[in-house]
Amino acid sequence: MARPDKEAAVAELADKLRQSEAVLLTEYRGMSVPQLQELRRALGGHAEYAVVKNTLAAIAARQAGLEAFADELKGPSALAFVSGEPVEAAKTLRDFAKGNKQLVLKGGVMDGNVMDAAEVDTLASLESREVLLAKAAGAMKASLSKAAYLFVAPASKAVRTVDALRDKQETAA
């Protein structure tokens, strides 16, 4: 029979898995407590970083409908529950892992899709949402400018042709 404290922990983990924008899985073997605190500060408002027991996290992942993610929980695992922008959290974890070789990105889950370490690295290499939206807006503005030029071009060409004919008639007279 399961103990009530473990049942509560599983229920809490399952809720976090369902409510998070993304969940990033790391291995923290060999990291000290001050290093973990530094990582939590670096993540700031982007994510909540928690060391989890694999058995409880696997049960919670199965309850949340993430069967494939449950199979990834091996070794000393910690989860980053992303509440903000997943790209920013992935970048923070990747950058921290570059300076601290003990931190290993193992994978994650975003929008119900399980990601491996390479996909998390690809996510981290994306530009932020704001930058991507700005680029899209710039591309749309450029397309609209080209369209406006195409609509104005025939009238403009006609005006230049009439001016050229007028100048030609004035020089001939």
Burial class from Cβ neighbours inside 10 Å (0-12, 13-18, 19+) for residue 83 reads middle
One digit per residue, pLDDT tens: the chain, 173 residues?
Answer: 368 888 888 888 888 888 888 888 888 888 888 888 888 888 887 788 888 888 888 888 888 887 777 777 888 888 888 887 888 888 888 888 888 888 888 888 888 788 888 888 888 777 777 777 887 887 787 777 777 777 777 777 777 888 888 888 888 87
pLDDT of residue 1: 37
Q: How far apart are CA 97 and CA 90, in angstroms?
A: 10
Q: How far apart are CA 54 and CA 10, in angstroms?
A: 11
The answer to whether residues 17 and 41 belong to one domain is yes
The answer to whether residues 119 and 134 belong to one domain is no
pLDDT of residue 151: 77
List all residues 6 or more positions away from 102 whose beta carbon is below 8 Å from its beta carbon. 28, 29, 30, 31, 35
Per the structure, the complete domain to which residue 108 belongs is given by 4-126
Domain total in the chain: 2
pLDDT of residue 32: 86
The answer to whether residues 148 and 120 belong to one domain is no
The answer to whether residues 96 and 119 belong to one domain is yes
Say which CATH number the domain at 112 has.
3.30.70.1730
Q: How far apart are CA 173 and CA 169, in angstroms?
A: 6
How far is the CA of 32 from the CAs of 35, 100, 131, in angstroms? 5, 11, 35
The answer to whether residues 30 and 109 belong to one domain is yes
The answer to whether residues 102 and 82 belong to one domain is yes
